[in-house]
Amino acid sequence: DRPVRELDILPAEERSYLLEELNRTEADYPSDLCVHELFEAQVRRAPDAVALVFEEQSISYGALNADANRLAHHLIELGVRPDQPVAICVERSPAMVVGLLAILKAGGAYVPLDPAYPSERLRQLLDDAGPRRLLCDATGRAALGAEAIADLSVVDLNAATPAWADQSADDPDPHALGLTARHLAYVIYTSGSTGTPKGVMVEHASVLNVLRALLDVSGLTERDSLLAITTISFDIAGLELCLPLAVGAKVVVAHGTSAIGLQRYLSHQKITVMQATPAAWRMLFDAGWEGAPDLSALCGGEALPSELASNLGRRVKSLRNLYGPTETTIWATTFPTDTRIEAPHRYVPIGRPIANTRIYLLDGHGQPVPFGAVGELYIGGAGVARGYLNRPDLTAERFLADPFSGKAGARMYRSGDLARYLPDGNLEFLGRNDDQVKIRGFRIEPGEIAARLLEHELVGDAAVVAHADAAGDKRLVAYVVVKMTDGSAEADGAGLAASLRAHLGGLLPDYMVPSAFVRLEALPLTVNGKLDRKALPVPDDDAYARRAYEAPQGEIETLLAGIWAELLGVERVGRHDNFFELGGHSLLAV
């Protein structure tokens, strides 16, 4: 006898189509190379070609490689070995690229830290990753603080006379280092539902596969110029740097990402490839960008609205929608938007798996759902990460044996995303089966924010959810139950919101700080004792962290207050209110 849940309800033909036909993605890519070896091959091919542009500075492939090699040999002398984490906390600059390449060449796994993060957040990541060596500049050193780096071997990338200046400019020998494609390339941290960020361990072989796959589908060549705009702490940043350098193209590192600045880069640097979130593309349009006929646009990080895709697709050479979690190495599926969609959809499909990648839509018992039915998206293949650093229990929960691939040792990642197959075999993304949200491309676990709120002395209970405004933009809203205290001035609406905002601002990146704070007597619960999200009230104006109201004065203040009120969807804006505390963000500011 077998449990009913183990019975296969699918006809053999449909099961074969779902598991095999839709996953015929095998590609014969070299599997024994490391990421930086693709770059080194281009150095040998065209050492004088421009590899990197930053502001007015241009660096050739040969010069970039020599700088990275000298630093790599220095790191090797400091004791860097394969699989060892090496932290890097720097501003966007050529030194950032040199540092990343040097860590890879030395055999280390880079752990990127954004110097814009709060010091407490950076220290939390350092404590978890446990690197013994840190590459930084003055900004990174200041962001981390002296106490956090006291026990680390610090390499100052801005040193006037670097200790590695006299090191060899030759490529380190990976064989002599014992470095293989199965060693780690990087550890990237994502938001964690329990309040602790998760470090995703990704190997060279996985990065190499996504690079090869995207080179195949994008047609990127040595004649292209790619604009790199993503912060170093996200895996997409590594792709923006490694993809062009793997094929001999030019990478232009943007110093800032304002709409005006991006337009300047796109036109002055003759950019032919750029990847960005839907929010960033919309920001460009809102700022008056008219498009670029020679630009290949890549879009990912959150669902791509069909109306935005239509608008963008008309103004660029090509547009490709991409999907993938950090745990399966940047991108797992791709959809060219010139593909005919049989029926209109609110969002563009996420397409089909890239090379050497397998997609399964499974039910709650791990069995394939019928074609067209909604299932949880599991991802197998070459891109599956090694797991979470220092989190064996969570690794075992999310990274599972792949029973469908037929390959010994194959694994798959349980994404928590919901999807279904469209009639043409493309995948349609349908959201999450848990609380995780994406806002402006940032992956956020509301539970992590709630856990941090509970550390505040006034908070007895808390929940964080994402609310969509009238324009469809998502904003984080925190619901808090205040502890019974005697006469705390902070417990009123405005004072509480300001106190909680300041508390979270010192612990979390700004994109994780809620726009509104709602005080409740108790969190609403379902009959099963779980949070009743449907019963949470929609925040009113007073829920936003605002100052005591004072009417705007003069023509300019009145005009700006009216614009803010319209953008933010609030009734009134006072002269002392803060745009960002009211729920604004840099993209909306445009």
User: pLDDT of 37-53, one tens digit each?
Assistant: 999 999 999 999 999 99
Query: With helix as H, strand as E and coil as C, how does 141-165 read?
Result: HHHHCCCCCCCCEEEECCCCCCCCC
* Tokens found for residue 101: 């390449």
Query: Three-class SS of residue 173?
Result: coil
pLDDT of residue 578: 64
Please compute the mean of the pLDDT values over residues 351-373 and round it to a whole number.
Answer: 94
* 195 vs 306, residue with greater confidence: 306
292 sits in which H/E element: strand 292-299
* 73 vs 475, residue with greater confidence: 73
- Beta strands across the sheet bearing 109-112: 153-156, 133-136, 85-89, 109-112, 184-190, 198-203, 387-388
Q: How many whole angstroms separate alpha carbon 278 and alpha carbon 308?
A: 8
Please compute the mean of the pLDDT values over residues 520-536 and round it to a whole number.
Answer: 80
Query: Three-class SS of residue 528?
Result: coil
Domain end marker among 119, 151, 180: 180
Question: Considering its fold, how many domains does the chain have in total?
Answer: 2
With respect to residue 412, please indicate whether it lies within any of the assigned structural domains. no
Query: With helix as H, strand as E and coil as C, how does 440-506 read?
Result: CCEEECHHHHHHHHCCCCCEEEEEEEEEECCCCCEEEEEEEEECCCCCCHHHCHHHHHHHHHHHHHC
Instruction: Strands of 306-457 (E only): list them.
Output: 316-323, 333-336, 352-353, 357-362, 375-381, 387-388, 399-401, 411-421, 427-432, 437-439, 442-444
User: pLDDT of 287-342, one tens digit each?
Assistant: 899 999 999 999 998 889 888 999 999 999 999 999 999 999 999 999 998 755 55
In our burial notation (b when 16+ CB lie closer than 10 A, e otherwise), range 477-504 reads: bbbbbbeeeeeeebeeebebbbbbbebb
pLDDT of residue 39: 98
pLDDT category at 467 given cuts 50, 70, 90 is confident
pLDDT of residue 318: 94
pLDDT of residue 138: 95
With respect to residue 547, please indicate whether it lies within any of the assigned structural domains. yes
Lowest mean pLDDT among 178-182, 472-476, 490-494: 490-494
* 559 vs 289, residue with greater confidence: 289
Give the residue among 5, 16, 93 at the shortest CA–CA distance from 404: 16
pLDDT of residue 405: 92
Please compute the mean of the pLDDT values over residues 408-420 and round it to a whole number.
Answer: 94
Please compute the mean of the pLDDT values over residues 450-471 and round it to a whole number.
Answer: 84
Domain end marker among 161, 180, 199: 180
60 sits in which H/E element: strand 57-60
Query: Three-class SS of residue 402?
Result: coil
**pLDDT at residue 491 greater than cutoff 90:** no
What contacts 21, CB < 8 A, 6 or more positions away?
none
pLDDT of residue 451: 81
pLDDT category at 533 given cuts 50, 70, 90 is confident
pLDDT category at 31 given cuts 50, 70, 90 is confident
Q: Which residue has the tokens 């996985």?
A: 206
User: pLDDT of 162-179, one tens digit each?
Assistant: 899 999 999 999 999 999
Range of the domain at 162: 56-180
* 249 vs 511, residue with greater confidence: 249
* 61 vs 449, residue with greater confidence: 61
pLDDT category at 400 given cuts 50, 70, 90 is very high
Give the CATH number for residue 106. Answer: 3.40.50.980
pLDDT of residue 6: 60
Could you tell me the CA-to-CA distances from 489 to 457, 494, 497, 503, 505 in Å, in that order? 13, 10, 12, 16, 20
User: pLDDT of 339-354, one tens digit each?
Assistant: 555 556 788 999 999 9
Query: Three-class SS of residue 107?
Result: coil
pLDDT category at 434 given cuts 50, 70, 90 is confident
198 sits in which H/E element: strand 198-203
**pLDDT at residue 108 greater than cutoff 60:** yes
Please say whether the beta carbons of 477 and 488 come within 8 A: no
DSSP 321: E
Please say whether the beta carbons of 320 and 375 come within 8 A: no
**pLDDT at residue 488 greater than cutoff 80:** no
Q: How many whole angstroms separate alpha carbon 506 and alpha carbon 27?
A: 46
**pLDDT at residue 582 greater than cutoff 70:** no
pLDDT of residue 579: 61
Please compute the mean of the pLDDT values over residues 461-484 and round it to a whole number.
Answer: 83
With respect to residue 413, please indicate whether it lies within any of the assigned structural domains. no
With respect to residue 461, please indicate whether it lies within any of the assigned structural domains. yes
- Position 455: which residue type? E
With respect to residue 99, please indicate whether it lies within any of the assigned structural domains. yes
Q: How many residues does the chain have?
A: 590
pLDDT of residue 570: 64
Domain end marker among 134, 160, 180: 180
* Tokens found for residue 107: 């055999």
pLDDT category at 274 given cuts 50, 70, 90 is very high
**pLDDT at residue 510 greater than cutoff 70:** yes
Environment class of 298 (CB within 10 Å of its CB; exposed 0-12, middle 13-18, buried 19+): buried
With respect to residue 410, please indicate whether it lies within any of the assigned structural domains. no
**pLDDT at residue 78 greater than cutoff 80:** yes
pLDDT category at 585 given cuts 50, 70, 90 is low
Q: How many whole angstroms separate alpha carbon 451 and alpha carbon 499?
A: 16
Give the CATH number for residue 513. Answer: 3.30.300.30
* Tokens found for residue 542: 């007073």
Query: Three-class SS of residue 577?
Result: coil
pLDDT category at 119 given cuts 50, 70, 90 is very high
Mean pLDDT over all residues of the chain?
88
**pLDDT at residue 234 greater than cutoff 80:** yes
pLDDT category at 484 given cuts 50, 70, 90 is confident
pLDDT of residue 445: 82
pLDDT of residue 2: 60
pLDDT category at 5 given cuts 50, 70, 90 is low
pLDDT of residue 196: 82
pLDDT of residue 212: 97
Q: Are strands 198-203 and 437-439 parallel, antiparallel or unpaired?
A: unpaired
How many CA atoms within 13 Å lie on the side-chain side of 49? 22
Top mean pLDDT of 146-150, 319-323, 567-571, 578-582 is at 319-323
* Tokens found for residue 177: 């280092």
pLDDT category at 4 given cuts 50, 70, 90 is low
Q: What percent of the chain has pLDDT over 90?
A: 61
With respect to residue 144, please indicate whether it lies within any of the assigned structural domains. yes
With respect to residue 203, please indicate whether it lies within any of the assigned structural domains. no
What contacts 253, CB < 8 A, 6 or more positions away?
52, 53, 54, 92, 93, 94, 96, 97, 228, 241
